[in-house]
């Protein structure tokens, strides 16, 4: 049994996490306005993404407290419906290879799988848990079907991401301490981001660089290098939100330009400078910390963490965070996994 003192201490830590979240999201909204000052920047896209995350997180906290099983289950079905029925999630040119609009669909499929697995871990009913796990497996199968279709989406990333999230969720059931697992998720995101940065800086060994050149495509690598050059010239503030397309020669010469480098860290580095990159990293670390201190069970929190890390990986090499649906879905899943269910007997104190 958990003592009253332990519960009070846990509530204090959760309050600290919530306050930190408000400060971080507020800074993420304020800095684009500062960076855009005097530069003819267009911060509306960043502000919309921050608003979507905040709204999704608030909705997840409320719905997760009231309906800890039904809410993530419904969220999984909604994300799957968006991914399957609406492959074109935003206007503009279709960048299907390797992770343009396909990256947004892959991200939605990963979030859908994570939400279904969270719902499965949240229910005490064996038959319902089995059904929700079958839903998660069905999402992975649907992702494979979408990847095979090719013409609509053109990427197997959704299948891979869904499968990884499903496997991580099954493994989470055997973990008693979530701290090392959360640290591992942060390390994965850092390694992928570091690799993207190394590709942009052209510092990888020739063999590894050649192996990555095919899947990434030469055009994408050139966009990344343009972003890094702009970041070096404007280290602190960047060139201004929404101005990468104007400043990048590779982007302006593309047959189907969309004005983005197709990497969230590099886009922020180019447009908002080092401060923007640090804010993005801080926001991701805050979410992982909130999951670590969540009152939900360890399998629920680690499953959500795996899905959000998969999203971070996709966003590091693609354009997923440019889609409001993806940003809102990420916030919703984080909120669901950090909500304290009101029903008696459904909470679990966080592990170390």
Blockwise average pLDDT, block size 10, the chain, 352 residues: 53 76 95 88 92 96 95 94 65 43 83 96 94 91 63 60 93 90 97 94 85 82 91 90 81 64 93 95 96 93 97 92 93 96 56 51
Spatial distance between the Cα atoms of 72 and 339, rounded to a whole number of angstroms: 11
Question: So what's the pLDDT on residue 153?
Answer: 42
Spatial distance between the Cα atoms of 299 and 169, rounded to a whole number of angstroms: 7
Identify the DSSP state of 69. T
Question: So what's the pLDDT on residue 212?
Answer: 83
Sign of CA dihedral 115, 139, 110, 163: positive
Contact 200, 262 (CB under 8 A): no
Question: So what's the pLDDT on residue 210?
Answer: 82
Per the structure block, which two tokens stand in for 53?
Answer: 């995350």
Spatial distance between the Cα atoms of 170 and 159, rounded to a whole number of angstroms: 17
* Radius of gyration for the alpha carbons in the chain, expressed in angstroms and rounded: 20
SS3 for 210?
Answer: helix
SS3 for 150?
Answer: coil
Contact 275, 281 (CB under 8 A): no
Question: So what's the pLDDT on residue 208?
Answer: 85
Contact 100, 262 (CB under 8 A): yes
């Amino acid at each position: 049994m958990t003592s009253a003192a332990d519960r009070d201490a846990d509530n204090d830590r959760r309050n600290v996490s919530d306050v930190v979240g408000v400060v971080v999201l507020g800074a993420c909204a304020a800095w684009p306005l500062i960076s855009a000052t005097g530069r003819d920047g267009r911060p509306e896209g960043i502000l919309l993404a921050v608003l979507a995350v905040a709204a999704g997180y608030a909705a997840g906290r409320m719905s997760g407290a009231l309906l800890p099983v039904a809410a993530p289950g419904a969220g999984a079905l909604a994300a799957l419906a968006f991914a399957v029925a609406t492959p074109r999630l935003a206007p503009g040119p279709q960048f299907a290879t390797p992770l343009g609009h396909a990256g947004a669909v892959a991200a939605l499929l990963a979030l859908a799988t994570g939400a279904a697995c969270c719902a499965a871990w949240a229910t005490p009913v064996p038959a319902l848990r089995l059904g929700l796990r079958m839903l998660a497996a069905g999402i992975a199968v649907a992702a494979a079907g979408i990847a095979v279709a090719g013409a609509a989406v053109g990427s197997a990333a959704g299948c891979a991401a869904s499968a990884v999230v499903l496997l991580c969720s099954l493994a989470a059931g055997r973990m008693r301490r979530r701290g090392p697992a959360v640290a591992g998720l942060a390390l994965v995101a850092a390694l992928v981001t570091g690799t993207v940065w190394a590709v942009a800086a052209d510092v990888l060994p020739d063999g590894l660089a050649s192996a990555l050149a095919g899947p990434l495509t030469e055009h994408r690598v050139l966009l990344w290098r343009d972003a890094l050059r702009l970041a070096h010239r404007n280290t602190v503030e960047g060139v201004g939100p929404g101005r990468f397309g104007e400043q990048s020669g590779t982007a302006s010469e593309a047959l189907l330009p969309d004005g983005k480098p197709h990497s969230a860290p590099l886009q922020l580095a180019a447009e908002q400078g080092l401060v923007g990159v640090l804010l993005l990293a801080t926001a991701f670390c805050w979410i992982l910390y909130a999951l670590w201190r969540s009152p939900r069970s360890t399998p629920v929190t680690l499953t959500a963490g795996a899905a959000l890390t998969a999203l971070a990986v996709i966003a590091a090499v693609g354009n997923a965070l440019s889609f409001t649906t993806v940003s809102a879905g990420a916030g919703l899943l984080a909120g669901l996994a950090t909500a304290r269910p009101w029903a008696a007997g459904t909470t679990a104190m966080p592990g170390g």
